[in-house]
Amino acid sequence: MNYKPDEGTLMAYLYGELDAAETERVEQYLQQHPQVQEQLHQLSTVRKRMGALNDVEVIAPPVFVDHEQRSIPFWKEGYFKITMGIAASFLFLLIAARLIGPEVTYSNGELRISFNDTPKKTTQEQLLTTNEVQQMINSSLVKNNETIAANWEESNQKIQESLQRNLNTNSARIDKLVSGVSAASQDQVRTFVAGMQEENLKLMKDYFQLSAKDQQVYVENLLVDFTKYLHEQRKQDLMLFQTRMNSIEKNTDQFKQETEQILASIISNPEGTIRKVNNY
């Protein structure tokens, strides 16, 4: 017998959800396999232990449900409002178009909605080719260049004339002014030079007078100072000389006294002196 109940079958057996035949087969298997029976017994024990966890008592609170939501009329629904809004816009557009006079045309893949007369298409635009456009541009450019050249020539001429006229006028004025200035300047120069000479002479005279007086005073002072210096120098020299003379005189007197003392001693004791000389 190769029957072996799987985990699911064992669970169904544990909770009594197997039919009678299957239950019997499992029980026979469990009798032959006590280790599985023990395992199942342990799971049954777990169930008993976990069974101690009881329910929590609770009072059902009132549950409010928005019943009115179901009875919302369709015209208050969002999508209906949007659709009606778009439809109303189109209707308004159509009425306005009807009143003003609409023109709706479709041609060449172009839709035109206009409320006045349809603008007549200028066929000229369609007939123009690239070369024609280029020619038009070229001719326009040539005309434009010519106009610009003519204007430039005219302007240039006017400027030249104006310059010449101004130059002549200014030259005449300058010549007049220069001649006036040159005529007037000779007498003025003479007067100015004479004035200058007189003034210089006067200045030189004053300068020499002042400088001669100052030099005289300076030289006098210099002579006096030099005289004083010489006098002082002579005085000092004389004093030095006097001092030297005094010193010599003093030495001479001292020498004279010593000589006298020696002579006196020699005279007073001539023998002793001779003896001493002989000892030497």
Partner 1 sequence: MHSDALLERARQGDKNAQGKLVQLWYKRIYNFSYKFFFDHDLAMEVSQKTFISMHRNLIGLQDVARFKSWLYTIAVNYCREELRKRKTTRSVSLNDFPAGEDEVSYRWETSSGRSDNPEKQFRHTELSDLLQQCLMELSAEQREVVIMKEYEGLKFREIADALQVSENTVKSRMYYGLDGLKKILEKKNITKEALGYEL
Inter-residue contact 18 to 12 (CB < 8 Å): yes
51: contact with partner 1 by CB under 8 A: yes
20: contact with partner 1 by CB under 8 A: no
The sign of the dihedral angle between the CA atoms of 261, 264, 268, 273 is: positive
Reduce the DSSP state of residue 130 to 3 states and report it. Answer: helix
Nearest to 21 by CA among 31, 32, 9: 9
Minimal distance in Å, beta carbon 25 to partner 1?
16
d(CA 78, CA 76): 6
Minimal distance in Å, beta carbon 5 to partner 1?
11
Q: Which is nearer to partner 1, 8 or 73 (CB)?
A: 8
Please name every residue paired with 107 in a beta bridge, in sequence order, or none if there are none.
Answer: 110
Member of 20, 21, 65, 183 binding partner 1 (CB under 8 A): 65
220: contact with partner 1 by CB under 8 A: no
117: contact with partner 1 by CB under 8 A: no
7: contact with partner 1 by CB under 8 A: yes
38: contact with partner 1 by CB under 8 A: no
Taking the CB of residue 182, how many other CB atoms lie within 10 A of it?
9
Member of 3, 32, 46, 96 binding partner 1 (CB under 8 A): 46
Member of 58, 99, 181, 277 binding partner 1 (CB under 8 A): 58
Q: Which stretch binds partner 1 (CB under 8 A): 7-15, 97-105, 231-239, 262-270?
A: 7-15
Q: What are the counts of helices (DSSP H) followed by strands (DSSP E) for the chain? A: 7, 2
- The three-point CA angle 32-37-38 to 5° equals 130
53: contact with partner 1 by CB under 8 A: yes
What does the DSSP 8-state code read for residue 103?
A: E
Inter-residue contact 37 to 30 (CB < 8 Å): yes
Alpha carbon 177 to chain centroid distance? 57
42: contact with partner 1 by CB under 8 A: yes
d(CA 170, CA 182): 18
Q: Which residues, 67 to 106, sit near partner 1 by CB under 8 A? A: 67
Q: Which stretch binds partner 1 (CB under 8 A): 37-45, 83-91, 124-132, 193-201?
A: 37-45
Alpha carbon 188 to chain centroid distance? 64
Member of 45, 134, 138, 164 binding partner 1 (CB under 8 A): 45
d(CA 208, CA 56): 140
Paired tokens of 111? 């839709």
Member of 27, 38, 47, 224 binding partner 1 (CB under 8 A): 47
Minimal distance in Å, beta carbon 12 to partner 1?
6
Minimal distance in Å, beta carbon 3 to partner 1?
17
Paired tokens of 108? 């060449």
Q: Which stretch binds partner 1 (CB under 8 A): 54-62, 85-93, 108-116, 178-186?
A: 54-62
Minimal distance in Å, beta carbon 1 to partner 1?
23
Site residues, partner 1 (CB under 8 A)? 7-12, 15, 17, 42-43, 45-47, 49-61, 63, 65, 67
